[in-house]
Amino acid sequence: MNKNQAFPWDHPRFRSWIGVARACQLMQQAVTRAIADLGIKPPHLDILVNLYRFQGISQQELARKLLVGRSNMSMLLPQLEKRGLIERNPDAKDKRVLRLSLTAEGRALTEQAMTIQTGLIERIMSQTPEDRCLQVAEAMEDIIRILQTLETADDEEEG
Amino acid sequence: MNKNQAFPWDHPRFRSWIGVARACQLMQQAVTRAIADLGIKPPHLDILVNLYRFQGISQQELARKLLVGRSNMSMLLPQLEKRGLIERNPDAKDKRVLRLSLTAEGRALTEQAMTIQTGLIERIMSQTPEDRCLQVAEAMEDIIRILQTLETADDEEEG
DNA sequence: TCAAAAATGTTCAATGATGAACAATAAAGT
DNA sequence: ACTTTATTGTTCATCATTGAACATTTTTGA
């Protein structure tokens, strides 16, 4: 009678996913504590790292990379600008867009933060051999692909 | 000269973890959309599922399972109580604690929501063979263990 | 050329999450 | 017994995030 695995938490896939979610939640909290001394939180870190990597990106593009709404960027970026960590310059061709870049100070802070973050990631994955990490990465890519098709499927339903 | 893998995003472990984080974020959004019709959001779902599984749990215990603060429960639980989904009854022995339980309505709603959630999880992991899921689960357990020791290490530093 | 549609960034109200401070109760130490 | 310490839940101010409505600008297409 228990063949149907009546409860979700008896499903192996369910338990796997719960593990992923818990790990993420704990990691988020650990990162929050680890970078608190720098005066930033995970959302700021995500922004800074992306600006470090993709200089001159627009707010829209940044929001897409971070999987958040444009309005979120409109709230956070002015804070970082006032702190002198980033700059927002109007695009030459398109008067709607603002091009984002790190200041020297912002770049220095970002490098410190990335060092901390990378150290933390290496630490939590130190028990996981490299090939296992690759397998996890592949599994996540599959999941991400499916979730993205789900997303666009929802969009089409509306239209 | 590139032997040191100067940038975080060149580290395989870093990329693996970014994948995990992205998958979680997308899944969170997908679940939000999927259960919106039921009038609840992921935080409520997490509460309801835990009450479904652990009847008579206290607010403190629930907060610990969800990895959130007590104050968060103090904000959310009264909402669910007013909607008639849960009950909060004083403990007989300890006048401080409130014992939580689902109402019949809450139980019915939770079952609907769990069906949706389980379906979504099965869907996103459908491309991942079961043994691969197990490997992911093991990797996450290792990570969770390390993060929890980190947590307690922080506590001890304070004391 | 000109009107309609789309894209970009902003504002605003609502909501979830947090940590600190607090009151009530229980447990421990003396 | 009694003082101190810990635990449980609440309140409050703060902040990140969201989605809708909006103004400006660009692109489409008739």
Q: Please write the tens of the pLDDT for every residue from A71-109.
A: 999 999 999 999 999 999 999 999 999 999 999 999 999
- The confidence score (pLDDT) of residue A7 equals 87
Are A26 and B67 within 8 A, CB to CB?
A: yes
Q: Which of B7, B15, B24 to mutate to test the interface with A (most CBs of A within 10 A)?
A: B24
At the top level of CATH, the class of B13-127 is: mainly alpha
What's the Å distance between residue A78 CA and nucleotide D29 C1'? 38
Residue whose CA is minimally distant from C10 C1': A74
Structure confidence at residue A35 (pLDDT)? 97
* Tokens 């939640």 belong to residue: A25
User: What percent of chain B has pLDDT above 90?
Assistant: 84
Q: Using pLDDT thresholds of 50, 70 and 90, give the confidence band for residue B157.
A: low
Q: According to the model, what pLDDT value does residue B91 have?
A: 96
Closest-approach residue (CA) in chain A for B126: A143
Q: What's the CATH architecture for A23-127?
A: Orthogonal Bundle (1.10)
Beta bridge mates, B87: B101
Q: Which of B20, B21, B19, B41 is nearest to B31 (CA)?
A: B41
**pLDDT tens track for A119-134:** 999 999 999 998 999 9
Is pLDDT at A158 greater than 50 in this prediction? no
Contact A67, A52 (CB under 8 A): no
Supply B60's token pair. Answer: 């403190």
pLDDT in tens, A36-50: 999 999 999 999 999
CA–CA dist B121, B145 (Å, integer) = 23
Structure tokens at A37: 């001394």
Strand partners of residue B30: none
Residue B90 phi/psi, 5-degree rounding, is: -65, 140
What was the pLDDT predicted at B154? Answer: 63
Other Cβ atoms closer than 10 A to A126: 12
**Residue B152, pLDDT score:** 73
Q: Which residue is nearest to nucleotide D17 (CA to C1')?
A: A72
- Which chain A residues are within 8 Å of B49, Cβ to Cβ? 8
Calculate the CA dihedral of residues B8, B11, B17, B20 and round it to 10 degrees.
110
Question: CA-CA distance, B75 to B85, in Å (whole number)?
Answer: 15
Question: What are the residue boundaries of the structural domains of chain B, listed by start?
Answer: 13-127, 129-159
As a dihedral over the C-alpha atoms of residue B52, residue B58, residue B63, residue B65, rounded to 10 degrees, the angle is -50
CA of B140 to C1' of D1 (A): 52
Which of B45-49, B50-54, B153-157 has the lowest average pLDDT? B153-157
A81 in Cβ contact with A87 (< 8 Å): yes
Residue A82's contacts (CB-CB under 8 Å, 6 or more residues apart) are none
B118: chain A residues, CB-CB within 8 Å? 8, 11, 14
Q: Structure tokens of A97?
A: 């867009």
